[in-house]
Structure 1
Amino acid sequence: MPEKIRISSSHWLLIIALLAAAFACYLLIEPYINSIVMAFIISMLMFPIHNRIATKLPKHQNIAALISCFILTVIVVLPLLTVFGAIVQQGSKFSQSLYHWVTHGGIQAFFNHPLVDKAFNFANHYLPFDSLTPQQISEKLANFSTSFGTKLVGISAKVLGDATNFIMDFFLMLFVLFFVLRDNDKIIGSLRHIIPLSRSQEDRLLTEIEQVSKSAVMGSFLTAIAQGFAGGIGMWLAGFPGLFWGTIMGFASFIPVIGTALVWVPATIYLLVTGDINWAIFLAIWSIAIVGSIDNLLRPFLMQGSGGMNTLMIFFSLLGGIQLFGLIGLIYGPLIFAITVVLFNMYDEEFRSFLSWQDKN
């Protein structure tokens, strides 16, 4: 049992100076904090691969870490470049098809459909909006279809213009990942030494961070990939550009509650009113049964390691994380909630006798 430490004024001065210095260091790395955090999280996913490489190269840890980073680069960068090029190509074809459909009577046939006519009458009679007319929507849709290609090129140019920032962030993450993989034992050992917790508490906290980080990445991003892939197949079978709309559905899956319905519901309505009733029914059933089941089954299964959090806590951690941090909040939100739950459990165990005494009085 260690001797009880008496904190003197010099100790308090040292603690205050340390906190001030730590805050100053945080301000220095704050612009790069996401890259650093992602390097630590990705290192947890890369350890199985890295450990195999490091086992075969026991005297060359630098080379082993370098090979692991190269494998990650190939896994991430090449598919992204391929998908981006295909999305631009299919998006351009979609804009041309949309323009042809609008200018060759397709829009008029759409508005002459009885269901669409009833929808306009209902909206103009019951909804508190200005009067909607098919001519107004036709004009806006025609303007959109003619400018969609230009906008797509503009978006592509912006993405390419931001590629420098993406490359810098990605290679900064790789740079940090290299040292995390190579010096993992030293880093973890230093953290254990500094954190004023018992070894068992440190094990619980570090294990929880690892499990939640993995489950957040797997639960959010793998679910988005799976839903985008399944949704893209359904859209392709129904006659839409599969890769383009599958990618859009993948991003839409990050939106709580609505998710992929933001894409497949309008597509189903379009098929229905244009007379492709069989394909409309197919797309609706496919999206509900296949795409929807992925979100309902795969996400909870992949996130079951999120610190014992129930579905409500996971939902608000994802929702609040996106609101506060953006897309990376899908990882930060569950991580903050899970660490809080673990700390509450530690608090309960540490002060259980006092809390029990307090309950009795």
Structure 2
Amino acid sequence: MTEKVKITSGHWVLVAALLASAFACFLLIEPYVNSIVMAFILSLLMFPIHEWIESKLPQHKNLVSFLSCVVLTFIIVIPLLFVFAAIVQQGTVFSQNVYYWVTHGGIQEVFAHPWVVKGLSVVNTYLPFEEIQPQEIAQRVAQFATAFGSNIVGFSAKILGDATNFLMSFFLMLFVLFFLLRDHDKIISAMRHILPLSRSQEDKLLNEVEKVAKSAVMGSFLTAIAQGLAGGFGMWLAGFPGLFWGTMMGFASFIPVVGTALIWIPATIYLFITGDTTWAIFLLVWSVAIVGSIDNLLRPLLMQGSAGMNTLMIFFSLLGGLHLFGLIGLIYGPIIFAVTMVLFNIYEEEFSDFLSKQDNS
């Protein structure tokens, strides 16, 4: 028979002091929470590789963790550097081509297209807007294109600053990852000891967090990579800078509802207007059939680790996470939902007799 613990006023003081100090610690690490969370999630993904390296060097925990971090660096950073350099090069060429096209009468050719003329006529006749003048739009676009050259210098500086911040966050994440991999067993044991739950409840909670964290990363980021590759290939075949627009499609895939259509719809319209009807039809079919099907098939397949969550819950966890936390919210949202569901299950098990009695009353 288990002995009941008598709660005294001293215990409440201790709990209050513990909560206050924990909150103070959170304020100290708050600027680095994203790096710590990403280190935790990457430690789950890297652990099979880490275990394989550890089996070869069982007596060298520090070296094994260091080698695991080196492997991760080569997997992530080195390809990113090459991709980033290519994106900057293609983006610069594309901006120069746009500037040349606008300043050499390209926008006037667009407004002279029969479809555009007819469309503007319908808009000006039936819709309750002020009359749209093609000359005013062309003038504004030309002004924007003229200013674009100077703006791109500031944009490049911003990209450089963001890249510097990314590297700093990445190395901080590696530092945390090193200790998470090295002391994995100690950390899990400490968490189990502190949580006031039974072993089966702890297993359920930790297993669900691990599954959802993995599936959120796989579902969101691998889907973005796949859509970026497929979309970039289609854009390249249609005559656009493939790597640049493929990367833009990868980022656009994180936007709920709209997704990659934010990129390929304007590109398709541009091809139709400029007379490349065959390539416009190709890009339209390719984007809907191939790029769109990746999101519809691959994301649910990769996120099936969230077994307790249906499609609607996954959608709102992603949407809400993105709104509250930004891009990292694509991971935070599903984890928060999953932990809440596990706690509800534990609550249901603990109070099953009471809940059954209430149902029958």
Q: TM-score, normalised by structure 2?
A: 0.97
Sequence identity of aligned pairs in percent? Answer: 71
- CA drift of 1:129 comes to 3.6
Matches within 5 A, 1:192-341: 192-341=192-341
Q: Runs ≥4 in structure 1, deviation > 3 angstroms?
A: 125-130
Q: How many residues align?
A: 361
- CA drift of 1:259 comes to 0.5
| Counterparts of 1:183 and 1:93, CA distance in 2 | 48
| Counterparts of 1:288 and 1:171, CA distance in 2 | 39
Q: State the AA in 2 paired with 1:245.
A: W
Task: Tell me whether 309-318 or 78-87 shows the greater mean CA deviation.
Answer: 78-87
Q: State the AA in 1 paired with 2:230.
A: A
> Quick check: 1:134 aligned with 2:134?
yes
- CA drift of 1:307 comes to 4.0
| Counterparts of 2:340 and 2:9, CA distance in 1 | 31
Aligned to 1:103: 103
Aligned to 1:71: 71
Aligned to 1:51: 51
Q: State the AA in 2 paired with 1:339.
A: V
| Counterparts of 1:141 and 1:350, CA distance in 2 | 65
| Counterparts of 2:93 and 2:163, CA distance in 1 | 24
- CA drift of 1:110 comes to 1.2
| Counterparts of 1:152 and 1:251, CA distance in 2 | 19
| Counterparts of 1:32 and 1:192, CA distance in 2 | 24
Aligned to 1:356: 356
Task: Tell me whether 144-153 or 243-252 shows the greater mean CA deviation.
Answer: 144-153
- CA drift of 1:3 comes to 0.6
Task: Tell me whether 77-86 or 336-345 shows the greater mean CA deviation.
Answer: 77-86
| Counterparts of 2:271 and 2:59, CA distance in 1 | 62
> Quick check: 1:176 aligned with 2:180?
no
Aligned to 1:62: 62
| Counterparts of 2:33 and 2:102, CA distance in 1 | 47
Q: Measured at CA, do residues 21 and 119 of structure 1 come closer, stay the same or move farther in structure 2, by a change above 3 Å?
A: same
**TM-superposition CA deviations, 1:50-101 (whole Å, max 9, x none):** 1110110100010000001011111111122211111111111111211222
- CA drift of 1:140 comes to 2.1
| Counterparts of 1:264 and 1:213, CA distance in 2 | 30
| Counterparts of 2:4 and 2:359, CA distance in 1 | 29
- CA drift of 1:128 comes to 4.2
| Counterparts of 2:293 and 2:153, CA distance in 1 | 35
Aligned to 2:161: 161
Matches within 5 A, 1:179-190: 179-190=179-190
Aligned to 1:117: 117
| Counterparts of 2:240 and 2:132, CA distance in 1 | 28
Segments of 5+ residues of structure 2 without an aligned counterpart are none
- CA drift of 1:123 comes to 2.7
**TM-superposition CA deviations, 1:180-229 (whole Å, max 9, x none):** 00000000000000000000000000000000000000100111111111
Q: Measured at CA, do residues 257 and 73 of structure 1 come closer, stay the same or move farther in structure 2, by a change above 3 Å?
A: same
- CA drift of 1:164 comes to 3.3
Matches within 5 A, 1:19-30: 19-30=19-30
Q: State the AA in 2 paired with 1:11.
A: H
Q: State the AA in 1 paired with 2:134.
A: P
| Counterparts of 2:67 and 2:357, CA distance in 1 | 57
Q: State the AA in 1 paired with 2:29.
A: I
RMSD of aligned alpha carbons: 1.3
| Counterparts of 1:42 and 1:151, CA distance in 2 | 36
Segments of 5+ residues of structure 1 without an aligned counterpart are none
Q: Is the 8 A contact 1:110 1:116 kept in 2?
A: yes
Aligned to 1:37: 37
Q: Is the 8 A contact 1:49 1:68 kept in 2?
A: yes
Task: Tell me whether 39-48 or 117-126 shows the greater mean CA deviation.
Answer: 117-126
Q: State the AA in 1 paired with 2:144.
A: F
Secondary structure of 1:162 counterpart: helix
Q: TM-score, normalised by structure 1?
A: 0.97
- CA drift of 1:23 comes to 1.0
Secondary structure of 2:304 counterpart: coil
Q: Measured at CA, do residues 73 and 127 of structure 1 come closer, stay the same or move farther in structure 2, by a change above 3 Å?
A: farther
Q: State the AA in 2 paired with 1:50.
A: H
